[in-house]
């Protein structure tokens, strides 16, 4: 199709250039600031040209702060979230689509509802549950009257206690309690031809053989897409790791970075150190996006459907 | 539905497969939601000193608090302005990136990057960039002292939050809208061109109506997203200040619950926020959804 589209192409180029500057500008400024010393930033303010103190600021970050250890925590949380979400939601979607079960729609509705209310909204009571994950059991014992029965015979009601605060598991599992993965796999499984199943049955494949030899190889890109998406989401979490881990040793890198900001003591914050932190903390996920862009975009589009 | 012959007939195996995720969801989604409702009807002592049923007292206490209404009003203003910008800007960018020009492959790559930068990380960066003394607008203050003062002026602090929120929201909305644009059949463009519609006209009469489903979806998701994800930005950029000007509900709930130890008050506000979010999604699907033609 040939037509004169010069005016719109110029406008589109200008718009895209503005968009790219908007995205890259803050990242670039963080990098240039991270390459200046505290004194220079105090005198000159924000500078567009790189300096030569980047290595020193990163060294300070490594020696004076807990960012390295917190990066390890972030890695554990992000990998744990990605792996657990992929495995559990794959199995759940598999059961919902490929088994003859009457309660499938009820379970799916229960899972889907989790998408509506993000963890950040219900953080207060999620914290209480994490402080004692057996508290629902206690409540059930109380409600059913079992506990009054028990206390009559044994003198005291049952009060079970198990806290997962300040543990890696505790930082991970509330993130996994989410329906996006199940939704994504279910949609994918429903697009597969049913004859696949019949053929596999004819060849004598049972449920486990079917999942291993047929479903998994077919879903490789979907799994990769969900893995990238949940890894990034685990790495960038803020509110949950902020309340779920109370000691600096257990906090994630993003929380540790935000803690570098002094609480209003009138002094100018150590911006070069913080910008170096922002760059370092974002490095792993940014590399992942650059290398695995294909899967990320696929994942974002799949979660929409 | 497909016939039952195309499914396994096991009884216990599917239960076993569903159980791990269901336990996590019951424990970390439904139990907290139920507990929030429970606590909103009880007066809870902060350090486990027992609880007392108080009916709707918590609700009347929260509803009588002017600070709650101010936080709600700010949340609504933020939700509308930030969401509108966070959808319109990616929309313009997606329409531009859909054209075959030299910059569009670069843009399609770079515009996804914010997905890897945590809200709190970019909050720290924007706190520096918009710092009134050393930031990008500091020269402005040399000429007109006090023109840019996010530490004193609530509007300036609010603008900073919106700029940071839109930055973080670009990837998802851009990818979804661009995917919608790419799915428009090429023959439609050719037919419109034959009818004499130029490229500008085709944006209005062809592209926008055809990606209405995607626009609707991004707006629905963006409303909830703007209410919740703003926490990381507030906590790193403004801390709710100056003078509470950026204390949105999600931040107030956190402050009341974890700093003020007012568990009942925080739970009551959580319940109201949850009801609001669910109603919001419901309304949008009921009213907006009907007017959109999903058929292509």
Residues 6+ apart with CB under 8 A from A263: none
Per the prediction, chain B carries an average pLDDT of 85
Judge: B35–A128 Cβ closer than 8 Å, yes or no. yes
Closest approach of B64 to chain A, Cα-based (Å):
22
In a mutagenesis test of the A interface, which of B28, B202, B294 is the best target, namely the one with the most A β-carbons within 10 Å?
Answer: B28
Answer for the pair A78, A231: CB distance below 8 angstroms, yes or no.
yes
B8 DSSP assignment: B
Given a cut of 60, is residue B295 above it in pLDDT? no
Note the pLDDT tens digit of each residue in A116-141: 888 988 898 899 889 888 888 888 88
- Residue A4's pLDDT is 67
Q: Kindly state whether residue B19 falls inside one of the protein's structural domains.
A: no
* A231/A209: higher pLDDT: A231
Strand locations in B107-239 (E): none
Note the pLDDT tens digit of each residue in B241-294: 788 888 899 999 999 888 888 888 889 999 999 999 888 878 766 665 554 444
Note the pLDDT tens digit of each residue in A1-14: 556 678 888 888 99
- Residue B3's pLDDT is 52
- Name the CATH superfamily housing domain A66-124+164-304: MetI-like (1.10.3720.10)
Residues 6+ apart with CB under 8 A from B189: A1, B202, B206
When divided into structural domains, chain B yields a total of: 1
A260 DSSP assignment: T
Nearest CA to B88 out of B198, B12, B190, B162 is that of: B162
| Global ipTM | 0.88
B279 touches chain A (CB under 8 A): no
H or E stretch at B49:
none
H or E stretch at A221:
helix A220-236
Q: What residues of chain B, 49 to 88, have a C-beta less than 8 Å from chain A? A: none
The encoded tokens of residue B160 equal: 């900073």
Residues 6+ apart with CB under 8 A from B279: none
Largest CA distance in chain B: 78
Q: Kindly state whether residue B240 falls inside one of the protein's structural domains.
A: yes
Residue of B nearest to A202 (CA): B6
Note the pLDDT tens digit of each residue in A273-291: 889 999 999 999 999 888 8
Closest approach of A141 to chain B, Cα-based (Å):
15
Residues 6+ apart with CB under 8 A from B295: none
What stretches of A38-122 show up as alpha helix (H) in DSSP?
A: 38-44, 54-64, 67-98, 104-112
Answer for the pair A223, A90: CB distance below 8 angstroms, yes or no.
yes
H or E stretch at B44:
strand B42-44
User: What is the C-alpha radius of gyration for chain B, rounded to an integer number of angstroms?
Assistant: 24
CA distances from B112 to A169, B68, B82, B247 (A): 30, 36, 19, 29
Phi, psi dihedral angles at B115 (to 5 degrees)? -60, -25
Query: Chain A residues with CB inside 8 Å of B89's CB?
Result: 19
- Residue B244's pLDDT is 82
Note the pLDDT tens digit of each residue in B93-107: 999 998 888 888 888
Q: Kindly state whether residue B123 falls inside one of the protein's structural domains.
A: no
B120 touches chain A (CB under 8 A): yes
CATH of the domain at B217: 1.10.3720.10
Q: Give residue B204's domain range.
A: 68-118+165-291
Which of the four pLDDT bands, split at 50, 70 and 90, describes residue B207?
confident
Preceding amide of B138 cis, omega within 30: no
């Amino acid at each position: 199709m040939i037509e004169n589209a010069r005016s719109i192409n110029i406008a589109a180029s200008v718009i895209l250039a503005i968009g790219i500057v908007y995205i890259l500008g803050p990242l670039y400024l963080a990098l240039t600031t991270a390459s200046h010393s505290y004194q220079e930033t105090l005198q000159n303010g924000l500078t567009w040209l790189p300096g030569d103190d980047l290595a020193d600021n990163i060294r300070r970050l490594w020696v004076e702060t807990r960012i390295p250890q917190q990066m390890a925590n972030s890695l554990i949380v992000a990998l744990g979230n990605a792996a657990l979400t992929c495995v559990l939601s794959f199995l759940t979607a598999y059961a919902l689509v490929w088994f003859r079960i009457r309660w499938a729609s009820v379970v799916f509705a229960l899972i889907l509802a989790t998408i509506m209310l993000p963890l950040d909204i219900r953080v207060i009571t999620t914290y209480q549950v994490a402080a004692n994950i057996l508290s629902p059991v206690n409540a059930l014992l109380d409600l059913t009257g079992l506990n009054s029965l028990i206390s009559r015979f044994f003198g005291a009601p049952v009060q079970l206690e198990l806290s997962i605060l300040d543990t890696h598991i505790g930082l991970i599992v509330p993130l996994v309690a989410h329906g996006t993965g199940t939704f994504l796999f279910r949609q994918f499984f429903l697009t597969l031809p049913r004859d696949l199943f019949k053929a596999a049955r004819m060849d004598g494949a049972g449920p486990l053989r079917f999942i291993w030899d047929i479903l998994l190889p077919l879903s490789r890109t979907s799994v990769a897409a969900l893995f990238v998406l949940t890894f990034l989401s685990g790495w960038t979490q803020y509110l949950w790791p902020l309340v779920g881990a109370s000691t600096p040793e257990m906090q994630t890198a993003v929380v540790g970075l935000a803690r570098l900001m002094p609480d209003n003591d009138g002094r100018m914050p150590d911006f070069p150190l913080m910008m170096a932190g922002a760059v370092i903390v974002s490095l792993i996920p940014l590399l992942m996006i650059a290398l695995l862009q294909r899967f990320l975009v696929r994942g974002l589009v799949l979660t929409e459907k | 539905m497909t016939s039952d012959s195309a499914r396994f007939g096991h009884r216990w195996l599917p239960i076993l497969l569903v159980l791990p995720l269901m336990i996590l969801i019951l424990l970390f989604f439904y139990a907290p939601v139920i507990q929030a409702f429970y606590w909103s009807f009880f007066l809870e002592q902060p350090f486990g000193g027992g609880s007392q049923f108080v009916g709707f007292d918590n609700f009347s206490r929260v509803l009588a608090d002017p600070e709650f209404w101010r936080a709600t009003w700010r949340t609504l203003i933020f939700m509308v302005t930030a969401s509108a910008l966070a959808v319109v800007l990616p929309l313009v960018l997606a329409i531009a990136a859909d054209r075959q020009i030299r910059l569009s492959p670069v843009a399609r790559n770079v515009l996804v990057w914010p997905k890897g930068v945590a809200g709190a990380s970019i909050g720290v960066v924007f706190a520096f960039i918009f710092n009134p003394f050393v930031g990008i607008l500091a020269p402005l203050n040399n000429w007109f002292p006090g023109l840019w003062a996010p530490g004193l002026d609530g509007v300036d602090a609010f603008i900073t939050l919106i700029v940071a929120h839109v930055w973080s929201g670009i990837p998802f909305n851009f990818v979804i809208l661009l995917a919608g644009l790419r799915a428009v059949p090429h023959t439609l463009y050719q037919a419109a061109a034959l009818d004499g519609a130029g490229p500008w006209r085709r944006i209005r009469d062809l592209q926008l109506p055809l990606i209405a489903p995607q626009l609707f979806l991004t707006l629905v998701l963006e409303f909830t997203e703007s209410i919740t994800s703003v926490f990381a930005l507030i906590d790193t950029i403004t801390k709710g200040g100056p003078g509470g000007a950026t204390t949105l509900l999600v931040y107030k709930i956190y402050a009341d619950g974890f700093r003020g130890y007012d568990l009942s008050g925080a739970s009551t506000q959580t319940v109201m926020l949850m009801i609001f979010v669910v109603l919001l999604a419901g309304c949008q699907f009921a009213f907006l959804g009907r007017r959109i033609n999903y058929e292509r």
